[in-house]
Structure 1
Amino acid sequence: MWVVHALCGSNGRILMWAEDSELPGRVSGRAPSGPVTHPFAVRADRLREQLPIGASEEPVVELHLPSYPSAPVGSPELVRDPLTAGAKPRGKLRLGRWFVPSVSCDAAALRELLDAVPAGCRLGSDARFVLEVAGFAEQLVDSGRVLPGLIREDDRLAARWCAALSGADVARFGALRAGMPPALRARGGAAPEDVLRELLDVLVDGRARERLGGTKLGTGRSAAASWLDALSGEPHLDDTPKLRALGARIEDWRAGIARRNPVRTCFRLHAPEDDEQDWIVEFLLQAVEDPSVLVSAQDVWSGTSHVLRRWVSQPQELLLADLGRAARIVPELERALRDRQPTELVLDTEGAYEFLTSAGQLDNAGFGVLLPSWWGHAPKLGLKLNASSTSTAGVVSKDSAVNMGTLVDYRWDLALGDEELTEAELEELAAAKVPLVRLRGRWVQVDHKRLNAGLRMLSESGSGQMTAAEVLQQAGESGQDGSQPLPVVGVNARGWLGDLLSGDTEQHLEPVDPPDGFGAQLRPYQRRGLAWLAFLDRLGLGGCLADDMGLGKTVQLLALEALARDGVARPPTLLVCPMSVAGNWQREAERFAPWLKVHVHHGGDRLGGGDLEGEAGCHDLVITTYSLAARDRAVLRQIRWDRLVLDEAQHVKNSSSKTAGAVREISARQRIGLTGTPVENRLAELWSVMDFANPGILGSLSRFRARYAVPIERDQDSAAAAKLRQVTGPFILRRTKTDPTVIGDLPDKIELKQLCNLTGEQASLYQAVVDDMLQRVEDSEGMERKGLVLATMSKLKQVCNHPAQFLDDGTALAGRSGKLQRLEEILDGVLADGEKALVFTQFAGFGGRLVPHLSARFDTEVLFLHGGTAKSARDAMVRRFQDPDGPGIFLLSLKAGGTGLNLTAANHVIHLDRWWNPAVEDQATDRAFRIGQRKDVQVRKLSCIGTLEDRIDQMIEEKKALAQLVVSSGENWLTELSTNELRDLVTLDREAVGE
């Protein structure tokens, strides 16, 4: 393993050297008499092979490093095997002189070079610090905060760019100086500030030349033209008297700017208050290193500004010189310079607007600028749509003839933020001659071109009628530029349309009961859910019922079918679900609404073509599976369906999958998705479910990603999350079991993290898998890399479970796995108390090995449900386990048994291996923690301490926040980790191995 280091070199280049943990750790048994080669240092030719991007060999560099008499101290990042490192050096620690072979690269290529370090390399603290300084240099160059120079470099003249620090730059420079690793000063005894300044200027010069791209800056043959050309091309120049004289003048100019760095002039703009008309630009002096130190120009002229004396001896001269420079940016400042002792500048509104728009230039030039807090955050002028439906709010009866084509009255208004503007205020805005106008006691910025376009639209089509669907479309575009001349800043509606747009429709609608004879007494929240579903049904709108697992999505959907078909003839409903719950739907329909005619489209003898169409027409509910929806898509899309329901709708989370494409082709009057996990990994999954329910409601996927997914997932943008909740609110109903207002009679769920040790055999296998991955992952990319990472994660989980699972050698299980030992201890207690447990594993093959082992260990029957279990056997297992006298241990593969089952006889849930997807794990837990459970449920998640299972737990907790942020994650996210992140994740700690 190598540790790569970086240092500031000469001639605008960066030096790099590396330590190798495989090299010997001693020089000799006695102290060297003079500088010798660093014993861990990598040869320059080997280093150049590994760092080929612009790297060239340099002479050896002498470094002063912490050392023992016989050997230097390896850097903290150099992890060496204690068995091969030799004897530990002895003696007093001191600074020793060592030669290291090095290579150098152009500063402009530094980031690309260090980002490309190969597998088996890690960056030292100095190299990471250099990268941080490189980022600072990029910001300075990209914002123009640089100065050109002409300096002497190795007995030659060189044109170089350097940093021009001001304001916050100085504060950041100070923070970098304080955090600079000592290794960066290893070339000599220079002060930290000088070392950092030299490094920053080298990186600034490289970035500036990269940005210029060889553009010629000078014209002619003068010394100045040669210097300008050298600022973008070859930096070195012939040493001539004219160039030396030019260099002296340039250095005087730069030194004058540098002398002004400790204190700068600051401009503070005061807006007029009450009936005042004048804007005041106050002049102040500000300490750059402590911006809170502000001295007014009045105090500067009166001589009472003693606080500035430690930074500047002549503050009056500094103020006048800075005002002269600033006047080149804001010409109005020349008026202030007519006074012998200028303290402020009085402006009218037009001048104030020009000053505000010039503030960025003043800041870039190194001045301080303090503006009113509302500038940049002022409310935006936009359009507000007011719509009114004729029906009374909350009262849309089943006989109401309202749908998305229903015409509603509308009126457009201009608004400032959320506040609608009166006609008088609009006239005032239109009459204003400058973009700054004071309205309702606050100043706002107005774009007159867009204002006039908005006023024209109001006069031409400011009111009338539009369909309810058009109102919803405008609501979806709220907050962005759409088809209107101004952005739509809000949509306000009354009546049933207002209920829909409120995003809290469930609370506005009166609870609804299913028809007489329905075989269940709905809870209050289920009656509200039924009212919401019936509301969408009457409008022909799709929706997503996203209640937590166990809250009764099945019974609410069946109640909707019973209510909608009560005395009304309708085409059949098609329900698509996983095979594992098809029988459950059939039984529940027979239990709650036996008059509903149910047909199951499944099996080798299933109907096709016209036969299926005729049979479906004689039934109310047709049940099929996702696999058959894709296989029989041509038949299913020919049938006229009243409603299309997707149970476990996360099966279509990948919008480009064959299954998602098949169900989208099926035509139905309404579409409903049922899922307890509308977001598992990425927000694109939510888009897919919502686009199924109401095609186009969230726009295209690319637009959704740009507007919501990227800001929320990458930046945790709360405003974007709030907007997404608002847009999707009318079409998603989500209730959780942890909300006491939803359900107060569920017992507690107690989650426990159980940490297990590895055996020696497990640890050896684990390390072998890690070493193999780290050797191969750096040379792979794209799908190959993703496949390698996922395969490795699966192998490591198998090792953590049991060596026999990973080796697949059929050997005995007893005594070889710390996790299996812990499982046995837990089950001992469960069975001793006369209770029952569900044990989930994602590996069906390992589950098959566990069944005989656990049966023999506890002398009891162990049930096992997996993907190959027939439907009849599955149903029989559930019945036997739910029987009080039935078996006490139910082993389930996570995919086959994680959804659609009611197993409330168990009050213990054990996750033997982690799926690393909290949504999937929670679904599995909900087989026991659901309505009908009368005992507290204990959930144990087994992880091996000091392994990736242990470290990944915190990452799981962080991923939960994504789903909760918007609506309330598989494992593909792991493939996006960098090699260094993967290494940190899978490294085995010493504490992992048990005694």
Structure 2
Amino acid sequence: MTSELLINHTHGNLGLSPAGNLYFYDSELSEKISADVTEKIHSFFSVNHSVGLLRLGLTHFNESLPESLLFWQQFSQIFIAQICKHVSSENATIPDIEFPNDEINQLIFRAPFIRGIEYFNLDNAKLLWDGLHEALITELLSFDNNLESYLSAWHATWSTVGKVCFHLAENKKNEDYPFAFLATYTTGLSKNANAQHLALGTALETYAGKNNKSMLLSLLLPVHRAAEKSNFLKSMVDTGKIFKPQAWTAVDAHQFLKDIPLFEESGVMIRVPNWWDKTKPPRPEIKVTIGEKNESMVGLNSLLDFNVHYALPSGETLSEKEFYQLLTSTESLVQIKGQWVQVDSEKLNQVLSHWKSIESQVNNEGLSFAEGLRLLSGVSNMSFEDASPEVINTWSTMIEGGFLQSTLSKLRNPGNTDEKTFEEIFKKYLNAQLRPYQLRGVQWLWWLYNLKLGGCLADDMGLGKTIQVISLLLLIKHNNLKTKPHLLILPASLVGNWQAEINKFAPSLSIYIAHGSNKEDKPSLTANDLIITTYGMINRLDWLSETAWDIVIGDEAQAIKNPAAKQTRAVKSLKSNVRFVLTGTPIENRLLDLWSLFDFVAPGLLGSHKAFADYGKKTVKENNDHGLFYAAIRKLVNPYILRRLKSDKKIISDLPDKTEMQTYCTLSKQQIGLYQQAVNELALKLEQEIDGINRRGLVMSYLLRFKQICNHPNQWLGHGDYAHELSGKFLRLKELCEIISEKQEKVLVFTQFREIIPALCTFLSDIFKREGLYLHGQTTIKERAKRVEQFQEEQGPPFFILSLKAGGTGLNLTAASHVIHFDRWWNPAVENQATDRAFRIGQKKNVLVHKFICRGTIEEKIDSLLNSKKVLSSEIMGQDNEVKLTEISDKELLNMVTLDIHRALTE
């Protein structure tokens, strides 16, 4: 992969794009690095991102790097380590190595919360891996294709000197000396490509003579390096025992096994019995089982059982008596029940004391579902000073019991619910056919609801989060499970969308809009299935906080990501059985946002904000590894997050080429005033009985005026700074584009008004933090082609604003995932032609088409007209399907333009 990397020398973080390419970005939260290091790193990537990634892994820096750079350096170093592990001095070119799926999977799970990390999967990792391989081939051209020379030039630790091998085997016939040791060296490969070994002592004979002295020194170099680090090996080298077979006691064998990392980092290969794993030596374990059965209730406060027992690495259980025999052993390598295990009596006693203390606390207070999950993930408030987290993780294992395992399995893999019940209810009450992934989402929500647990539905925009929630509400209602009302909280701009979706797909659900324009007192909660309100109303209507709700749902949940905000605190104080949040924004980009969301969804699951932060600092300090903290958090929250991406192979095949949606916008008070004034003036002028071409001109001028007012009051007034809070469309555009920006996607914005394009450009540049592009009828053909080419580049501008007619033909803009019709042409053919710029034959991504419509205005009425299945009057629809309002009667025209203030009002 050699695509060009976007370079900006003020940026010190590496992010991953949806296409799997690396790019630099800036973050106020990241650690600062020196100008010299920044310059060096950027120089690495100036060739291409594969060469840069390879050099990043090869380089040792004398200062701390930002987490994103450390993470990608670690990925690169896995590749380099695999190369070194397979290289030999006889063949110093690049060996063929397999992609380490398991190791990369572990890296993905331990990844920090950085930009684009949701796109780091095995497929994209393999692309980056292949890019590293290609980069290495290119780099070796300057070193005569000598891998050893190339790696040594970067850092001595990459030197490949791995020809000597130490072998340890069991000697079961001798109880006093139960182990045997032999050092060998490789002479080549057999016909079956297996390494051929000779005893190291024969090398003294093979390389005898002055002419072979350098070869012998080269062969023994890794042994001497290892002897400098290991006193045990040094004594063998000094006495010459290293060149002879040895019979060893268990004490000798254990000393050797402990020093294996020193041998390997010096370049010595190791062969030991398969029961020994240097990263996790065989040890007796204290096994803790949590949640074998559910003691009481449901929800995060339900109680789980807690049991401590003992076992060998093979899984064979140990009695308490057998375990205490190990605790009192003076040997470090002990054989019990035919198995060799490493024993550290001091650490075992510390860990046993730790779990016995927790067991005592559980027996007195019980273990809640939430606390059980925290223990399993390693993020627990139940901490004791008996042992460090590292020692606890080394000498004990926590296991999900039967009940808990079954519960979490259904959360991770929804789909085992009663599909017959679902089918019967949906067939009767849901006016839609759920796609397979949507049905799985409903099953997941249903399972959480029945367990009285909260969750975060974080599907990509356009995958149907709304229909999934509506389906859940239908299941609750028609299974007669609703005992309390449900509450939906959302931005004011989404009220119309939800109302329209429910009326269209689930008319049996009764709803009440608790909004600023609705002055009634507290409604009948038993008569309504769902109360819909806005985030801003939570503090204004006391009965919302006084009511005990069944489900509280927060849509566009980024509205509560700031834990200190008054609005966030008010929402989190609501009383409910279950809480869900919906968001299309990546929730792994910022750790604080994740905590705040879960503080609402599952209060206490991540602890208080201070406890959460303190735990992170403590974990990193004790282990010098951010990955352990991130892995623990992911393990804890993953069962409560369902996120499907449009790029997922299982999803994209299930989606149409484009998904069109009506995006409803409200009017500001100034827009309402100007709109109503225009309606009144038009009515007066129509009373003057103007006929013919004059009437058509009058009507056309007012239709244009209504459109301009709906866009922004200052477009009609012709002055002002286009403040976004004065326009419902600008507010909705901001909400949409903030998500698109977070997703690193691109958008086309169509408008028929050239005069509003500069304001839109300025507005979107602030949102995307980057400049965009625009095109209208006055753009030259040469400049038009240049801008299209810029937009199509992966790291090109994120938005493109086009006048509808100028941008409707002759352009290929398939880099866009979103199309927004900011205002409407009222001619479906023209709009469709413009939309088609974003997808063509061979397009591999679903395109979302957002058609902005101001509620309660002529825009909503025309949209209903265009979507009506009735046979439309030829007086209204021309032969080209364009709406022709100049030809209808005065009464029909006024009915069409009259404002429905209740539907249009923002607050």
Q: Any idea what the Cα deviations from partners look like across 1:169-211, whole Å, max 9, x if unmatched? A: 99899999996999x9xxxxxxx999999x99xx99xxxxxxx
1:533 aligned residue (442, 445, 450): 445
User: Post-superposition shift, 1:375?
Assistant: 1.0
Aligned to 1:312: 213
User: Post-superposition shift, 1:582?
Assistant: 1.6
1:728 aligned residue (595, 615, 637): 637
Structure 1 residues 170 and 274: CA distance shift in structure 2, 3 A: closer
1:797 aligned residue (752, 769, 772): 772
Q: Distance in 2 between matches of 1:523 and 1:195?
A: 56
* Structure 1 residue 869 corresponds to structure 2 residue 830: no
User: Post-superposition shift, 1:671?
Assistant: 0.5
Q: Distance in 1 between matches of 2:277 and 2:286?
A: 18
Q: Any idea what the Cα deviations from partners look like across 1:224-277, whole Å, max 9, x if unmatched? A: xxxxxxxxxxxxxxxxxxxxxxxxxxxxxxxxxxxxx99899561414265665
User: Post-superposition shift, 1:377?
Assistant: 3.5
2:258 aligned residue (342, 349, 357): 357
Aligned to 2:75: none
* Structure 1 residue 470 corresponds to structure 2 residue 386: no
* Structure 1 residue 410 corresponds to structure 2 residue 385: no
Structure 1 residues 639 and 390: CA distance shift in structure 2, 3 A: closer
Q: Distance in 1 between matches of 2:461 and 2:57?
A: 50
Q: Any idea what the Cα deviations from partners look like across 1:780-836, whole Å, max 9, x if unmatched? A: xxxxxxx999669767422xx3278xxxxxx68999633499986995699xxxxxx
User: Post-superposition shift, 1:407?
Assistant: 3.8
Q: Any idea what the Cα deviations from partners look like across 1:372-397, whole Å, max 9, x if unmatched? A: 47112436745331433369xxxxxx
Q: Give the structure-1-normalised TM-score.
A: 0.47
1:573 aligned residue (458, 474, 486): 486
Aligned to 1:96: none
Q: Any idea what the Cα deviations from partners look like across 1:508-530, whole Å, max 9, x if unmatched? A: 43334476973557759666655
The one-letter code sitting in structure 2 at the alignment partner of 1:411 is: N
SS in 2 for 1:506: coil
Structure 1 residues 883 and 505: CA distance shift in structure 2, 3 A: same
Q: Distance in 2 between matches of 1:592 and 1:194?
A: 68
Q: Distance in 2 between matches of 1:353 and 1:449?
A: 17
User: Post-superposition shift, 1:286?
Assistant: 8.0
SS in 1 for 2:213: coil
Q: How does 1:200-349 map to 2 (within 5 A)?
A: 266=164, 268-272=166-170, 277-284=177-184, 296-301=199-204, 303-305=205-207, 312=213, 315=216, 326=227, 329-331=230-232, 334=235, 342-349=243-250
Aligned to 1:985: none
Q: Confirm or deny: 8 A CA contact 1:272 1:278 kept in the other structure.
A: yes
Q: Distance in 1 between matches of 2:781 and 2:221?
A: 86
Structure 1 residues 122 and 429: CA distance shift in structure 2, 3 A: closer
Aligned to 1:817: 784
Q: Any idea what the Cα deviations from partners look like across 1:467-516, whole Å, max 9, x if unmatched? A: 99634433333354853763463332334773245544633433344769
Q: Distance in 1 between matches of 2:490 and 2:287?
A: 43
Q: Confirm or deny: 8 A CA contact 2:487 2:533 kept in the other structure.
A: yes
2:292 aligned residue (388, 392, 408): 388
The sequence identity of aligned pairs, in percent, is 22
User: Post-superposition shift, 1:600?
Assistant: 0.7
Aligned to 2:455: 543
Aligned to 1:986: none
SS in 2 for 1:352: helix
Q: Distance in 2 between matches of 1:496 and 1:554?
A: 29
SS in 1 for 2:861: helix
Aligned to 1:880: 865
User: Post-superposition shift, 1:461?
Assistant: 7.5
The one-letter code sitting in structure 1 at the alignment partner of 2:784 is: S
Q: Whose helix fraction is larger, Structure 1's or Structure 2's?
A: 2
Q: Distance in 1 between matches of 2:39 and 2:379?
A: 41
Q: Any idea what the Cα deviations from partners look like across 1:416-439, whole Å, max 9, x if unmatched? A: 679463327635643543333457
Aligned to 1:509: 417
Q: Confirm or deny: 8 A CA contact 2:165 2:268 kept in the other structure.
A: yes
Q: Distance in 2 between matches of 1:815 and 1:318?
A: 66
* Structure 1 residue 421 corresponds to structure 2 residue 317: yes
Q: Confirm or deny: 8 A CA contact 2:222 2:268 kept in the other structure.
A: no
* Structure 1 residue 370 corresponds to structure 2 residue 270: yes
SS in 2 for 1:644: strand
Q: Distance in 2 between matches of 1:643 and 1:733?
A: 18
Compute the RMSD of aligned alpha carbons.
Answer: 6.6
Aligned to 2:545: 637
Structure 1 residues 657 and 705: CA distance shift in structure 2, 3 A: farther
User: Post-superposition shift, 1:312?
Assistant: 1.7
Aligned to 2:746: none
Aligned to 2:600: 692
Q: Distance in 1 between matches of 2:653 and 2:502?
A: 26
Structure 1 residues 123 and 174: CA distance shift in structure 2, 3 A: same
Aligned to 1:672: 580
The one-letter code sitting in structure 1 at the alignment partner of 2:429 is: F
Q: Distance in 2 between matches of 1:687 and 1:560?
A: 25
The one-letter code sitting in structure 2 at the alignment partner of 1:452 is: N
1:598 aligned residue (481, 506, 511): 511
SS in 1 for 2:401: strand
Q: Distance in 2 between matches of 1:339 and 1:720?
A: 47
Q: Confirm or deny: 8 A CA contact 1:545 1:675 kept in the other structure.
A: yes
Q: Confirm or deny: 8 A CA contact 1:271 1:280 kept in the other structure.
A: yes
Structure 1 residues 196 and 748: CA distance shift in structure 2, 3 A: closer
Aligned to 2:893: none
User: Post-superposition shift, 1:667?
Assistant: 3.1
Q: How does 1:134-149 map to 2 (within 5 A)?
A: none
State the aligned residue count: 610
Q: Which runs of 5+ in 2 are unaligned?
A: 1-32, 64-83, 95-135, 189-193, 661-761, 789-800, 836-848, 883-907
User: Post-superposition shift, 1:299?
Assistant: 0.9
Q: Give the structure-2-normalised TM-score.
A: 0.51
Q: Confirm or deny: 8 A CA contact 1:177 1:196 kept in the other structure.
A: no
SS in 2 for 1:282: strand
User: Post-superposition shift, 1:542?
Assistant: 0.8
Q: Whose strand fraction is larger, Structure 1's or Structure 2's?
A: 1
Aligned to 1:491: 399
Q: How does 1:751-770 map to 2 (within 5 A)?
A: none
SS in 1 for 2:429: coil
Q: Distance in 2 between matches of 1:458 and 1:434?
A: 24
Structure 1 residues 346 and 720: CA distance shift in structure 2, 3 A: farther
SS in 2 for 1:434: coil
The one-letter code sitting in structure 1 at the alignment partner of 2:374 is: G
User: Post-superposition shift, 1:136?
Assistant: 5.6
Structure 1 residues 522 and 388: CA distance shift in structure 2, 3 A: farther
SS in 2 for 1:643: strand
User: Post-superposition shift, 1:296?
Assistant: 2.8
Structure 1 residues 687 and 856: CA distance shift in structure 2, 3 A: closer
Structure 1 residues 432 and 866: CA distance shift in structure 2, 3 A: same
Aligned to 1:238: none
SS in 2 for 1:696: coil
Q: Confirm or deny: 8 A CA contact 1:430 1:451 kept in the other structure.
A: yes
